[in-house]
Amino acid sequence: MKRLLGITVCAASVLGIQAQSSKEFADQQSKIDRLYQLLEKSYTTDIDLQKVTEAAIKASLKELDPHSYYLTADEIKQSNESLQGGFDGIGISYILESDTLVVTSLVKDGPAEKAGVLPGDKLIQVDDSLVCGSDEKTRKISQLLRGKKGTRVTTQFVREGEGTKTFEMDRDKIPVYTVPSWYMVNDEIGYVKIVRFGAETGKDFREALKKLKKQGMKKLIVDLQDNSGGYLNTAVDLCDEFLDKEKLIVFTEGKNSPRKDFFAKAGGIFEEGELVVLVNENSASASEILSGAMQDHDRAVLVGRRTYGKGLVQNTFYFSDGSAIRLTTARYFTPSGRCIQKPYDEGTEKYFETLRNRMDSGELTSADSIKMQKELQYATGNKRLVYAAGGVMPDIFVPRDTLEKDSTLRSLNRKNVLYRHCVQYTNTHRRELMKHYQYSFANFLKDFTLPEGYTASLENFSKKLDIPFSFGALNNRQANYVVHFTKANMARMLWDNNEYQQCLNEEDESVKKAIELLTLNKTAVILEK
């Protein structure tokens, strides 16, 4: 009880109701102490005090803002893994096909690849635990595969046409790539995809830029679409590669956090050269720091749709049991002074409905539906008007593809039919597919068509899942979607994520617009308006 009381008192302190010496703080803290005394001495039955404490903390944080929240020790570990650069495991990506885990890709030089596991292999056992034909959830399987670096794990897979195979391997550090794709679009234009701003992102990004420059890159597309953010310092680090020395990147300020300015240093890798940054409604937090700084300094043309609108800075405060609070301590502001945080005064539920409301209002599909408030106007270095409008507004609007609302495709995607069939088909026909394209991704990218018999196979697969459909009955847009989806996911299974992204980008309207702007040298004209 004393330990839990200590946690609760600590929680009250972290929430910062007021300085500890104030009477108001003391009064509120006494209520919390009194509550736990009553629970211990007067409540009718035994209670789970940890559960009660966590509920109290969560409820308190919910009253503050949408981005202050409580995490258990396990949740903290999982959250950190995606940003810290890796975890210990065997290095496979997979999907659950019915009740069986199917490998979709492997980490290059990871334990599984070295042992001989191939995409399409079906996992049936990990050490003494059967994981096939059971109700094992993905998280449980993941826990079985993970473990301390150097520890041995014995796995059994079923391979199409070859039966059961046993692989023993030693777990190792598995990198989590936050810069999963980079390549040359043509002789001059490079492309880099950033999915998060983690501890290793700056290093990986610089390595990608250096390699692209060696291949002749003079112009660059940085893709931040669907990037949910990450570390503020990493965003600053990346901005530094594009801006001249002493240019303001971002500043933070809060009630108990004095203003702190972050400036660019000398020696950025790409301080000169045309730059386009891609954003959309899911680009948030650190993504908005980078895009906002590039826009305010007229360094890049922003293409896409209004970003998410998260301008709050969180710090992590740990408890003795490993759990923690991510608490908002400040707001961040772009160089022009914009705070792009969208309002949350109507509560958390309304706040998280914002994206749906943007879709319903037509904002994601029509630039004319976007309403700008004149009082939220700011100016860039070139005196271009920009807005603090609950997100960063791009310079060039690209509407969201409405095909996602198509009823036929939604029914197929609801049970992941297209992806599951693609994995199964590619695994079965891997050798003949590679031979057909002469083991060359360039040939695949240029000449891909659906293999003979693929649509019939897909129709039969779909029918078995009680989602019958006819490929021949699809309209041109629907059919193109199926072909493009298959091409991209087949590329990932036959090669890797870089090839997958190149295939995806063939039909990405924002990428196509960026290539057009850079090819026709239009960025300078836009930035000088």
Residue 484: closest CA among 466, 498, 496, 502: 502
Under a CB-based contact definition with an 8 Å cutoff, are residues 226 and 284 in contact?
A: no
122, 193, 247, 310: which is the annotated catalytic residue? 310
User: Annotated catalytic residue: which of 60, 181, 285, 510?
Assistant: 285
Interatomic CA distance for residues 411 and 164, integer angstroms: 34
Token digits of residue 68? 């202050």
In order, the DSSP letters of 408-457 are: HHHHHHHTTHHHHHHHHHHHHTHHHHHHHTTT-HHHHHHH--PPTTHHHH
Contact between 492 and 444 under an 8 Å Cβ cutoff? The reply is: no
Alpha-carbon distance of 390 to 387, in angstroms, equals: 9
Query: Could you confirm whether 320 is annotated as catalytic?
Result: no
Calculate helix-pair angle for 201-214, 232-239, nearest 10 degrees.
20
User: Is residue 296 among the annotated active site residues?
Assistant: yes
CA dihedral 360, 362, 363, 367 (to 10 degrees): 180
The catalytic residue among 121, 237, 296, 298 is: 296
Quote the radius of gyration of the chain (alpha carbons, Å).
26
d(CA 238, CA 204): 10
Q: What are the backbone dihedrals phi and psi of residue 170, each rounded to the nearest 5 degrees, phi first?
A: -95, 125
**Which residues are tagged catalytic?**
285, 296, 310
